[in-house]
Amino acid sequence: MMEQLVNFVIRPPRADYSPSFDLLSQEFLLKSRKFTRKDLQVLNSRGHVLQCSHYTPLSPLEDEPLPCVIYCHGNSGCRADANEAAIVLLPCNITVFTLDFSGSGLSDGNYVSLGWNEKDDLKAVVNHLRTDEKVSRIGLWGRSMGAVTCLMYGAQDPSIACMVLDSPFANLNNLMMELVDVYKIRLPKFTVKVAVQYMRKAIQKKAHFDIMDLDAVPVAKKCFIPALFGHATDDAFIHSRHSEIIFKDYIGDKNIIKFDGDHNSPRPQFYYDSIAIFLYNVLRPPDALVVIPEAVPELQFYDDALDLNDVDEDTLFEMLRAVRPSSSNTGSSPAGCTSSNSLGSESKEESLSQTRSRWQMSRTVVPVELTGNDNLSSIKDIDSDGFEGV
């Protein structure tokens, strides 16, 4: 039982995927423009090889560098989870870089660390992109563990232009305590703290990090990067109050958006539109390849959740035009283009639907064997210091 709890943190189900079938094609059409996927490897500071992909226009009209957003997946995720981000951002002239963190997907490593070691993986990727003359500003987009990774790295690197933080947890220890109640994990109340101490020591021994160090609140108090938070209102795995706690103490420009759904729900179109507007306005990609209004409205930052009812109709229309190419940029696919390399040229919604039919976003779940009301014989030999007795 205790081994299962430890693995729930550091060895969740590892995403099993095929780059040939589950990633976007190496060449594909989107909004009647050609894009390419370049697969590459990056070495992290621990000597692990990270499997990565970079989505870019196939033939840019100019040599002007483009901004890049690095997508960071969740604890059971992989770089295929960035497919939707690529569909959202590529038409805005924003390239998308994604990776399998160490211990995830096809990368080296045996364990995940919920942001602690992942921030060093992210640093290796940023350093790689800094050497690419075709990349200008860099933004981050993370979900769940990936959001915490972005926040922890962003506090160390003020050169990051902006961050999208989807469903981050505020404090790992508090989250673990909450999950015991929410999912009725088979831990008697009086043993919870003892079990957490045992897990802490076991995780330190196996994965070489301290779960008590994963506290996003102190980090938020020293991060000035413009950030857009997002959280589903019915998220039972990481309750939306976690985002609210971080948001309250976040010192940089900030906005937060709430939307229907749970931790694993597909994100709604208006949320993706809001992300695209935010990233477009901060990263300022060149306009040569996309039809946009002459003046793109600035995204305003609020202390409360974004309420589209407060945006007048004309402004909202212009904001959406800024991230959706006009009808002159749409049309049927050229002759000879098959469904495997053409992604719904008529609308972003169609493209996302096609992408989801290829790869469903990785899910974060509590293993069934950890839930229920059975007795907990494996806890009986753990003493008050968190060590197994004899």
Among residues 121, 114, 142, 102, the alpha carbon closest in space to that of 209 is found at 114
What percentage of the chain reaches a pLDDT higher than 70? 74
Pair type for strands 95-99 and 49-57 = antiparallel
pLDDT score for 131: 97
**Top mean-pLDDT range of 173-177, 250-254, 383-387:** 250-254
CB neighbours of residue 317 within 10 Å: 12
Question: What Cα–Cα distance (Å) separates residue 181 from each residue in 11, 119, 175, 198, 234?
Answer: 21, 29, 10, 19, 16
Residue-wise pLDDT tens digits, 232-282: 999 999 999 999 999 999 999 999 999 999 999 999 999 999 999 999 999
**Top mean-pLDDT range of 152-156, 182-186, 373-377:** 152-156
Which has more pLDDT, 61 or 22? 22
- Which residues on neighbouring strands pair with residue 258, listed in sequence order? 231
> How far, in Å, CA of 168 to CA of 245, rounded?
10
**Cβ neighbours for 326, distance < 8 A, ≥ 6 positions apart:** 291
pLDDT score for 113: 97
Which has more pLDDT, 111 or 353? 111
Reply yes or no on whether the pLDDT at 180 is more than 80. no
pLDDT score for 141: 98
Question: What Cα–Cα distance (Å) separates residue 157 from each residue in 33, 119, 230, 243?
Answer: 33, 11, 22, 21
Which has more pLDDT, 222 or 322? 222
Annotated domain spans of the chain: 2-379
Reply yes or no on whether the pLDDT at 158 is more than 50. yes
Q: What is the DSSP letter of 222?
A: T
> How far, in Å, CA of 173 to CA of 377, rounded?
23
**Cβ neighbours for 335, distance < 8 A, ≥ 6 positions apart:** none
**188 token code pair:** 């008697």
Residue-wise pLDDT tens digits, 217-232: 999 999 999 999 999 9
pLDDT-based confidence at residue 351 (cuts at 50, 70, 90): confident
Largest CA distance in the chain: 74
**Top mean-pLDDT range of 200-204, 299-303, 308-312, 315-319:** 200-204
Q: What is the CATH number of domain 2-379?
A: 3.40.50.1820
Count CA atoms within 13 Å of residue 343 on its CB side: 30
Is 72 in a helix, a strand, or coil?
Answer: strand
Is 316 in a helix, a strand, or coil?
Answer: helix
pLDDT-based confidence at residue 190 (cuts at 50, 70, 90): low
**Cβ neighbours for 42, distance < 8 A, ≥ 6 positions apart:** 49, 50, 52, 99, 124, 125, 128
pLDDT-based confidence at residue 328 (cuts at 50, 70, 90): very low
- DSSP states of 335-361: TT--TTSEE-TT-HHHHHHHHHHH-PP
Pair type for strands 49-57 and 33-43 = antiparallel
